[in-house]
Amino acid sequence: MVRGISFKNTYNAPGSVTSRNDIKPALAAFVDGDKAVFHQCGFYGLQDTLWDGPGRHRYTECYIEGVIDVISGTGQSIYEKCVINIPINVYAPILGHGYITAQGKEASSHTNGFVFIECSVIGSGTVYLGRAYRRFSTVIYHKSFLSSCVNPVGWHPWTQVGHEMDFTYVESGCTGPGADISKRVPWIKNLNKYDLRRFIDISFIDQDGWTRKLPQF
């Protein structure tokens, strides 16, 4: 359980890169293990800022900044009231667009995925809400604010072209100029309220009450 700590990787800091080839994955934090909670923490980087690896994780009121695959990995995680900032223009003209998530669910029987509840996506340039790191990539944005930096098509298949119907990419009750789904890719999912509840309820990461046993903020 972590509160009030910022994690920063300055490897790709503005001014230190002069071409796209200069940029390398440089993690600010690597979360690997079950039952982790981060509250009011900051994560700063450019590529793979937060590696959200195996396990059940909860992030509340955190600030997460980066441009390429900002939140990546195979975690089974809920992000609540977090701010996600994608400052693409800081790296212009080297970078023209960014990706918030690169979620890596590998099989339909797996239960992992990234769920964003009442979060805010801000930034500059053009950003995709996510791209498919693995075949069954799963990402949900629920009641979140999406600014104008969000690309109208929303999502990218990356190396999983041909498996788009296996993705679970969902936008539910979102607001803001980037929340218009009229030009989204045709393979976003529209879940009924029962299927949606499986993701947005705390039971998605906590079926045995472990979060209730932690100190309260």
Q: Tell me the catalytic residues.
A: 48, 69
Token duo for residue 13: 């800091």
Burial class (CB in 10 A: 0-12, 13-18, 19+), 20: exposed
Please state, in angstroms and rounded to a whole number, the distance separating the CA atoms of residues 18 and 164: 34
Burial 197-214 (b: 16+ CB within 10 A, else e): eebbeeebbbeeeebeee
β-bridge mates for residue 59, sequence order: 38, 79
